[in-house]
Structure 1
Amino acid sequence: MTVTKPTVLIVPGLRDHVPEHWQTLLAARLPRVVSVAPLEQDKLSCAARVEAIDRALAAIDGPVIIVAHSAGAMMVAHWAARGATREILGALLAAPADLETPMPAGYPTTEALDAQGWLPIPRGELPFPSIVAASSNDPLTRLDRARELAQAWGSRFVELGEVGHLNPASGYGEWPRAEAFIRELSQANLPTTARG
């Protein structure tokens, strides 16, 4: 019997693919990877983002591990809440953006996000193993909010320390821990909490 290695599905946040971002760099290194394509229209629509995840998954045969960042984590939660039927080995939800709390200037307002179907954030348990990896100084999500979401989703919670929003503006291009989390998810045997 042959074991098929999982394909990693990259789900970026609302700013889509940024060249220096750890997700983009990770995708260039992995042997089996598909990225959710950027939207040409309805870029702030939650429903359009969820449909984009469905389209990307339809192009993948075999097992899948999702790697989402920022609002991408919320896209995955909405996708799962809408009755996702595709089997997923696991999901890494890194630096999830708390869309229910006003964000800094330059980001969509909570009113705009609400009008586009993002609110409230789904809080049902995810139907696959998951890891929420959160920063203690993320300008888009307080650590206690990230922990609360992880608990609601049934995710293992990992506190990363002071890594900002885990993006190029916070000094992150490469993020080697992503690959360790992917390996862990491919074994799907997750304890409940961890630090570091």
Structure 2
Amino acid sequence: MKIAEADILIAPGLGNSGPEHWQRRWSERMATARTIEQDDWNNPRLADWVDRIHQEILLSTRPVVLIGHSLAVAAIVHTAQLRLKDTKVRGAFLVSPPDLERDDMPEEIHAFRNVPTDPLPFPSMVVGSTSDPYASYERIQGFAADWGSAFQPAGDAGHINAASGHGPWPEGLLMFAELMKRLKA
């Protein structure tokens, strides 16, 4: 599938993605991309995030490919298990899923816990770093296995955000292109 044939829905994580984050940069470069905006980026409610993701998918006019980072990965997986069977979603690119079961996670995201472990109803790729402060490398690989996702190692890349030096993140674009090649329109 070509990017021009899909609505690319970009879902930022907790606190939103600033202008230097690779997600914002990608949304500006891809003509068919748009960011899924949330009403409250800092005090997220799972039901609200799931509703917004689902609403954006329903509003799309072409096949959908989701791009999620961090907490948005959990929101996408919750949405997939609740509402995305037999929809126009063709795939998902899931970057830096956090381990929400850890004791050191912020209280405001506890509602996102108990992330489903069933396979996703569409092809997906999980990208993980060996030095992510929010999930061990093994846990991220486990998410990929649970969700039936291809796993793509990112090396020593932190949380794969602007703070870890991933502004444009061209390596990520290559990984995303690999996923897109596998998807059908």
1:50 matched residue in structure 2 = 50
1:135/1:156 CA distance change after superposition, 3 Å: same
1:89, 1:188 within 8 Å by CA — same for their partners in 2?
no
2:17 matched residue in structure 1 = 17
CA distance in 1, matches of 2:43, 2:36: 13
2:106 matched residue in structure 1 = 108
Structure (1 or 2) with the greater helix fraction: 2
Percent identity at matched positions? 31
2:90 matched residue in structure 1 = 89
DSSP 3-state at the match of 1:82:
helix
1:33 matched residue in structure 2 = 33
**What letter corresponds to residue 87 of structure 1 in structure 2?**
K
- Quick check: 1:188 aligned with 2:170? no
CA deviation vs aligned residue, 1:60-88 (integer Å, no higher than 9, x gap): 11111111101111111100111314221
CA distance in 2, matches of 1:98, 1:81: 18
**What letter corresponds to residue 62 of structure 1 in structure 2?**
R
- Quick check: 1:162 aligned with 2:156? yes
CA distance in 2, matches of 1:97, 1:159: 15
CA distance in 2, matches of 1:66, 1:181: 14
Deviation at 1:53, TM superposition (A): 0.3
Specify which structure has the bigger relative contact order, considering alpha-carbon pairs within 8 angstroms and separated by 6 or more residues.
Answer: 2
CA distance in 2, matches of 1:148, 1:156: 11
Deviation at 1:40, TM superposition (A): 4.1
Calculate the aligned-residue CA RMSD, in Å: 2.0
Shift >6 Å, 4+ stretches: none
* Higher-Rg member (1/2): 1
1:40/1:141 CA distance change after superposition, 3 Å: closer
DSSP 3-state at the match of 1:89:
strand
What TM-score do the two structures reach when normalised by structure 1? 0.85
What TM-score do the two structures reach when normalised by structure 2? 0.89
CA distance in 1, matches of 2:150, 2:143: 10
CA distance in 2, matches of 1:32, 1:55: 17
- Quick check: 1:71 aligned with 2:65? no
Q: Which runs of 5+ in 1 are unaligned?
A: 190-196
